[in-house]
Structure 1
Amino acid sequence: MLPSNCDVLVVGAGPTGLVTAVALARRGVDVTVVDRVAEGHNTSRANGVHARTLEVLATLGAAGPLVEQGVPATRVTLRDHDRTLLTMRFDGLPTPFPYVLLVPQSVTEKVLLDRLTALGGRVLRPYPVVGLAADGPGSRVTFAGGETVRARYVVGADGIHSTVRQQAGIDFPGTDSAKSFVLADIRVDTTLPRDELVLFFSHTGLLVWAPLPNGSIRIVAEVDDPPEHPDVAYAQSLLDARGPAARRSTVTELVWGSRFRVHHRVAESFRAGPVLLAGDSGHVFSPAGGQGMNLGLRDGAALADALADVLSGAPETVLDAYATSRRSVAREMVGFAERLTRIATTPPALRPLRNAALRLLSSHPTARGRVVGRLAGLADR
């Protein structure tokens, strides 16, 4: 049952909303989490957790259980079919987590939900938000069933189509790219490594190869007209066209598949009075570099600290600082993801030049280290 009042109402129980609630509960804040759907998602979707994100999760007691269930990839390679263009190593990074942890988003959510439960919290479902209005220094939130909750602060962690953002009147400018992607979890007979993240660059587009801990492989590919429900034959055609050529990888099963279109948007503000945004409700961008969920998780932890400080007596300017800094990071990440996408989808005529540039980058440790550090999120410390 919904409470009539709370200090913080978190709308959305994806990774961003859950990490916000965990961090708030650890600091003794009265937090309520609601979600519009009756059950959480059980698909892998985002599947890479970077070093800086793991550092943040470690402070919440969530990194250990997550690492136990993931595949630590210490290398990311960029390839043109069988030719390696660039190898980026993470095992030399100055962090306790010198790798990309490959783990399904469903596992990340389960670990965070277990942590929230251990702290005495829970997610209330299904409660779709339909209204939000100012109520003294806070907000009154109305749900589809007519229930209302008065909250001192409301966190919009409800995704790209955020009702909270819309109700708060915050613009979400940007572009909807013509680029679209298909993603699928497959089982495959292959000689490709199962502890390494591989990005295949092809004249027809990007193909990402990401091993998962259950033995399946997540592939993500840019395509012009992706099917709503890809099948084994479709996944095989992508691997044949963009993957290894010397030794064919054979798809034996398609576990799950979907499609999505790329958006590049950043909210005009991450704060409107007592309403604050985090994760996809505040920023969306290309999956290149695997930064979307990571940025959202770090948003949530930073916002929780700011809210807990203010509720303990710190000035409201702490929330303004959160909104300004996280929006700035989001804008930088949108640019970074756009550049990676352009590199991956270079037209055929320019591919030799791109490949030469990547090989040149490979021979310069300092420049290569900066790229690795950016991917790992260490610039966000």
Structure 2
Amino acid sequence: MSGPARTTVPALPDRTDVVIVGAGPTGLALAAHLASAGVGFLLLDRRPEGAGTSRAGVVHARTLETLEPVGAAAPLVERGLRLTRFGIRRGRHRLATVAFDGLPTPYPYALLLPQYETEAVLLDRVRALGGSGAVRRPYTVTGVGQEPGGAVVTVDGPRGTETVRAAYAVGADGMRSTVREAAGIGYRGGRYAQSFALADVRMEWLPGREEVSMLLGPDGPIVVAPLPGDVFRVVAAVREAPGEPDAAFVQRVLDERAGGQGRVGEVLWSSRFHVHHRIADRYRAGGILLAGDAAHVHSPAGGQGMNIGIQDACALGRALADVLTRGADPDTRLDAYERERRPVAERVISFTDRLTRAATVRSLPVRAGRDATLRLLGLVPAWRTRLAAELAGLRS
């Protein structure tokens, strides 16, 4: 009688320079930067394959700038849809238009494409830079500790329980980060009362495919953004969204808030989510570091979340490369990463919170005042430029 089948999956290495937990956009971007610098790493993710849904849908200018050094900007631009306008409306009435085409960047536009496309490009770059074998799925991290030589990461995977030692462990594993919790780092903030419905749809949309539109109404905002392939992303704040919004639900929301400008044909994918606004007390505890949603989450207003996570990854990749390949002092250099990136997260949380609260006010007099203010501000070039720079991630 034969014994149990033996797995052919190779064992994890006993040791590496950096263990990255979470192979979303942040983890993949960090892996690409480390690979380009010749830093050894292991990228672990609990999912058997990458995301097949679109979730985040925009890559902003600053993010593209940070991805240039690893060769990811050009293929993203090739796949994406370039839009230069962000329109703020109330039903059929335009309140303000923000333009990106005058910004001082090689990428004067918002690049619209599904998150799985962004992840695919980043994974291709990791492989091209020599890190193919270092991306391992599905592996669930069950423990992260520290010892004098660095971090100790325990994982469950196809071969059972394995342990990897590294100089550093990075949590890029989302809002419910196992790495952050293991490090004992607090995560302060709260949750908005509204739920959000998200759907990728095929539809007739009267404003067309030349801009991203945010429509304001008494029941909350709705964002309509074109995606490649004749698809539109619809995101709406609602009191309680269904688990998987269907075409009838999306159509009802559009009818109520968009003044009859949209006619839904087919829902390709949909979901419901709740929005938190939180930030980690620290980005580093010894040999453990945080990036992306593990370090900060906020409202999706403005499409900032994935973008500042990828920007975190760029800054952290530079810092780790300085320490591991150029002999920089670890405490000085890695603490500088937090000093650089945490204020950015604080500003984005504040900005998106103001935008979300302004978009969800229910008082009729307050809404009227908000709309009048937006019309006036929309006539001021300096305000339009500042908002465009904030959305694009170019404000210093």
Q: Please give the range of the TM-score, normalised by the shorter of the 2 chains.
A: over 0.9
Question: 1:99-123: CA deviations, max 9, x gaps?
Answer: 0001100000000000001112132
Give CA deviations for 1:3-27 in whole Å, capped at 9, x if unaligned: 1100011110000000000001000
Report the Cα offset of residue 349 of structure 1.
2.9
Q: In structure 2, what is the equivalent of residue 355 of structure 1?
A: 371
The RMSD of aligned alpha carbons is 1.0
Alignment correspondent of 1:18: 28
**Structure 1 residues 1-381: aligned runs within 5 Å:** 1=10, 2-122=12-132, 123-144=135-156, 145-245=160-260, 248-311=261-324, 312-316=326-330, 317-347=332-362, 348-380=364-396
Once residues 149 and 278 of structure 2 are traced to their aligned partners in structure 1, the CA distance between those partners, rounded to angstroms, is 29
- The gaps in structure 2 that reach 5 residues or longer are 1-9
Partner of 2:301, secondary structure, is coil
Q: Is the Cα–Cα contact under 8 Å of residues 75 and 87 in structure 1 kept in the other structure?
A: yes
- Between the aligned partners of 1:204 and 1:339, the Cα distance in structure 2 is 17
The separation in 1 between residues aligned to 2:54 and 2:271, in whole angstroms, is: 11
CA distance in 2, matches of 1:213, 1:52: 21
Q: Aligned residues: percent identity?
A: 52
| Corresponding pairs, count | 378
- Which stretch of the first structure deviates more once superposed, 362-371 or 260-269? 362-371
Q: Deviations over 1:169-190 (max 9, x none)?
A: 1111111221210100010023
Tell me if the contact between 2:99 and 2:384 (Cα under 8 Å) persists in the aligned partners: no
| Alpha-carbon distance in structure 2 between the residues aligned to 1:55 and 1:244 | 38
The CA deviation at 1:52 is 0.6
Residue 54 of structure 2 aligns to a residue whose secondary structure is coil
SS at match of 1:354: helix
**Paired AA for residue 306 in structure 1:** A
The runs of 5 or more residues in structure 1 that have no matched partner are: none
Instruction: Give me the TM-score of the superposition, normalised by structure 1.
Output: 0.97
Q: Distance in 2 between matches of 1:325 and 1:301?
A: 11
Distance in 1 between residues matched to 2:254 and 2:31, nearest whole Å: 40
| Residues 151, 169 of structure 2: 8 Å contact kept | yes
Q: Report the alpha carbon displacement of residue 31 of structure 1 after superposing the two structures with TM.
A: 1.1
* SS class of match (1:167): helix
Matched position secondary structure for 2:216:
strand
Amino acid at match of 2:262: S
Does the CA contact (< 8 Å) of 1:140 and 1:149 recur in 2?
A: yes
Q: How far, CA to CA, are the matches of 1:320 and 1:231 in structure 2?
A: 47
User: Matched residues in 1 for 2:269 and 2:361: separation?
Assistant: 29
Q: Structure 1: how far apart are the matches of 2:23 and 2:153? A: 16
TM-score (norm 2): 0.94
